[in-house]
Chains A and B, each alone.
Chain A
Amino acid sequence: MNWMSRCACALAFAGLVVAGAATPAQAELTGGCKASGTQVQSGRFYDAVTTNFAKIPRAGDVKWKGSVPVPATKRLAVGEVQVKFPWPVGDIEIGHWGKNGKETGSNANTGTYHYDFPTLIAGIKVLVHGRDQEPSGVLCKGAVVVQIEGTSPFAWASLALTIVMVLNLSLTIRARKVRP
């Protein structure tokens, strides 16, 4: 096998690993709930029922509103929002409601949320998902992939270190005579 064939095999294998492990397209908001937001700085509008990907500025404000398809009576609605990390870490909870036994009396809410993410995580595609369980049996689930605009300085450092490590690997696999 010549070197071109070996390189082609290695590239094909790497491609299969990445393609085989690719995350499937996520479902939108289900269960009859509604949620939407407008990113104030960019003016972009996102409807959670139809959106499954959002590329947002690193910092800014979001005017949001949400509702659940149940009457506005006093009840214990339980839910959470989680960020999905690779195995073996799994889901990390970033917010929850109702788990402390606190009841709610409303079925809709609005607000403006200010956020400011560090530049270091720019460019990473993160799956954020959540659910809301109502005592009446209504269960809403939603997921969205969020990417912060720009490129992390870590990206360039990582690229440089990849080149260094490939060169290092090529040196360590060089043949040397060994006694039988």
Chain B
Amino acid sequence: MKYRGRPILAAVSGFFTGLFVALDLLFFGAIHLDNIAVTVLPIVGLVAGIVLAIWAPLGRSRARGGSPAR
């Protein structure tokens, strides 16, 4: 049996997670406005979201006992 998360939703969530983490670092003065991390973190989040959704490390034991995906 194969297991997978929701890659498209995870990509969107990952992008916004990265974006808001970058904004947190910016607004709390951890990085400068010109820091490349402001651009890179949303892209890293997007890629990480897709990879994590394909890997799907969470909830495998629950999925084994549940109904198949639609």
Q: How large is the interface on B (under 10, 10 to 19, 20 to 34, 35 or more residues)?
A: 35 or more
Q: Chain B residues near A175 (CB, 8 Å)?
A: 3-5, 56-60, 62-63
Q: Is the CB–CB distance between B53 and A151 below 8 Å?
A: no
Q: Is the CB–CB distance between B26 and A124 below 8 Å?
A: yes
Q: Chain A residues near B35 (CB, 8 Å)?
A: 18, 21-23, 86
Q: Chain B residues near A154 (CB, 8 Å)?
A: 23, 27
Q: Is the CB–CB distance between A123 and B27 below 8 Å?
A: yes
Interface segment out of the listed A29-37, A67-75, A163-171 = A163-171
A147 to B27, CA, bound (A): 10
A154 to B24, CA, bound (A): 9
CB interface residues, B 44-58, toward A, < 8 Å: 44, 49, 52-53, 55-58
A174 at the interface (CB under 8 A from B): yes
Q: Is the CB–CB distance between B25 and A18 below 8 Å?
A: yes
A84 at the interface (CB under 8 A from B): yes
Given A87-B39, A177-B63, is A166 in contact with B23 using a C-beta cutoff of 8 Å?
no
A172 at the interface (CB under 8 A from B): yes
Q: Is the CB–CB distance between A158 and B24 below 8 Å?
A: yes
Please give the distance in Å from B54's CB to the nearest CB on chain A: 9
A-B CB contact pairs (8 Å), 26 listed? A17-B41, A18-B30, A18-B37, A21-B36, A22-B31, A23-B32, A85-B34, A87-B36, A124-B29, A125-B33, A151-B28, A155-B23, A155-B28, A159-B20, A166-B17, A169-B13, A172-B10, A173-B58, A175-B3, A175-B5, A175-B56, A175-B59, A176-B59, A176-B66, A178-B3, A179-B2
Binding site for B on A (CB under 8 A): 6, 14, 17-18, 21-23, 83-88, 123-127, 145, 147, 151-152, 154-155, 158-159, 161-162, 165-166, 168-170, 172-180
